[in-house]
């Protein structure tokens, strides 16, 4: 069976041109077929401020009304995505920049209003893995911005971690899949104040212990929930690592590797 590496890069790296350049160089060195999903970083907030559009965040998630959706579509699907594609071309990676609407690759539905109305935010319904596999067979490297679409033709702002997990799971139909979450830390930390306290291997029971103790909290929880869900749905391996270490994590075991067995 063919192998595929699905890699998600976080917004904090997107915000730092030097860090992004290092990551893309490392990404280019990853052998075989690969897919990149990127976050948006703070650029959308900066552009919204210039346009007089208020940014509202709840528990780290962006409230996306129509004006903000216009901004994130322009920034994530346009500026950030095409900058990444251009830089990959310079590294001899023939990349194609996409949102979930392109080729009908990632279909979502608007998140229902419960305690919070997130606005035009999408929860993923379906991934068209056959279309993504077609791009890969053409020796193209898909680069996805975190924008999806609905059956009614609306664009939706979608969590990039969730998008990476959903794409990885559906691509299991065609390949053996490794999912890698890259960000500004060396991995999942036992002590959030100590960058060297990387947990080398994380299981569901150890994850539960760290959550109960509060050492794993905030934004790391949904990331890990998505990661364990991917493992439970056929993804071969999930790694969480520093953006600079993506190649080393795949080859030598840097970062945190997740497994289901306890």
Instruction: List residues forming the annotated binding site for substrate.
Output: 40-41, 62, 157
**What is the 8-class DSSP label of residue 75?**
I
Tokens encoding 54: 């208020």
* Residue ranges of the binding site: 40-41, 62, 157
Q: What is the CA radius of gyration of the chain?
A: 17
Can you tell me the distance from the alpha carbon of 244 to that of 242, in angstroms, rounded to the nearest whole number? Answer: 5
Q: How far is CA 41 from CA 65, 207, 217, in A?
A: 18, 27, 20
What is the token pair recorded at 18? 């030097």
DSSP letter, residue 121: B
């Amino acid at each position: 069976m063919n192998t595929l590496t699905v890699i998600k890069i976080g917004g904090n790296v997107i915000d730092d041109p030097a860090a992004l350049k290092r990551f893309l160089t490392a990404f280019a060195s990853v052998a075989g077929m690969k897919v990149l999903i990127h976050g948006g970083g703070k650029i959308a907030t900066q552009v919204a401020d210039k346009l007089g559009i208020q940014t509202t965040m709840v528990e780290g998630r962006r409230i996306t009304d129509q004006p903000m959706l216009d901004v994130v579509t322009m920034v994530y699907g346009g500026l950030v995505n095409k900058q990444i594609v251009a830089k990959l071309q310079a590294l001899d990676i023939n990349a194609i920049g996409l949102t979930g609407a392109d080729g009908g690759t990632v279909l979502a539905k608007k998140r229902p209003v419960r305690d919070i109305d997130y606005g035009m935010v999408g929860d993923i319904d379906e991934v068209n893995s056959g279309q993504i596999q077609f791009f890969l067979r053409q020796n193209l490297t898909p680069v996805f911005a975190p924008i999806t679409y609905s059956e009614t033709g609306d664009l939706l702002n979608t969590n990039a971690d969730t998008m990476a997990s959903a794409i990885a799971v559906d691509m299991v139909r065609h390949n053996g899949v490794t999912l890698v979450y890259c960000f500004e830390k060396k991995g999942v930390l036992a002590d959030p104040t100590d960058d060297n306290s990387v947990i080398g291997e994380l299981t569901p029971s150890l994850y539960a212990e760290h959550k109960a103790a509060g050492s794993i909290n905030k934004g790391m929880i949904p990331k890990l929930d998505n990661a364990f869900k991917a493992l439970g749905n056929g993804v071969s391996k999930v790694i969480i690592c520093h953006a600079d270490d993506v190649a080393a994590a795949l080859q030598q075991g840097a970062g945190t590797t997740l497994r289901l067995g306890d």
